[in-house]
A = this chain, B = another copy of it.
Amino acid sequence: MDQRHATALKAAGMKATPKRLAILEMLEAEPGYASPEELWKRLKDRFDRLGLPTVYRNLEELSASGVLSKVIHPNRQLYYYFCSNREHHHHFVCLSCRKVEDIPACGIEALEQEVSKRNGGKVLSHILQLNGLCGGCADNGEKR
């Protein structure tokens, strides 16, 4: 049992079930993001029974509680990844190999202030994602 993940789950107010731990282990081992169905196919060998809705539900709950992160993908399907960096930061996502890399800083704070000042609005959240090709994929002619 991975104590780190069990602790993270408890901190999020969630029970540390074997299936949740398995999902976290699998996504942590992954360098990039994965879809619910992919994770399900790879995990269901390790359990007598594992429903696809359970994977969907847990990924969403884990994402909502901040244990996992969700990708905003052009195809509008759901993908999740694991990032242990608790600081506020953003990610570079490779659309070819799915690798997710940290972006150390962003100038969002200035933008938020600008919005508040100019329009009187309130920024509740922001999305900043760079899409492209990572070093490896840019070298090959790959695309997509």
Binding site for B on A (CB under 8 A): 72, 76, 78, 92, 94-95, 101, 103-104, 106-108, 110-112, 114-115, 119-135, 137-138
Contact = CB atoms under 8 A, between A and B. Distances in A.
Contact of A128 (B94, B119, B124, B127): B127
A121 B122 CA distance: 34
Contact of A125 (B111, B120, B124, B131): B131
Given A72-B127, A129-B126, A129-B127, A119 B106 contact: no
B104 A107 contact: no
Contacts of A72: 72, 127
A122 B132 contact: yes
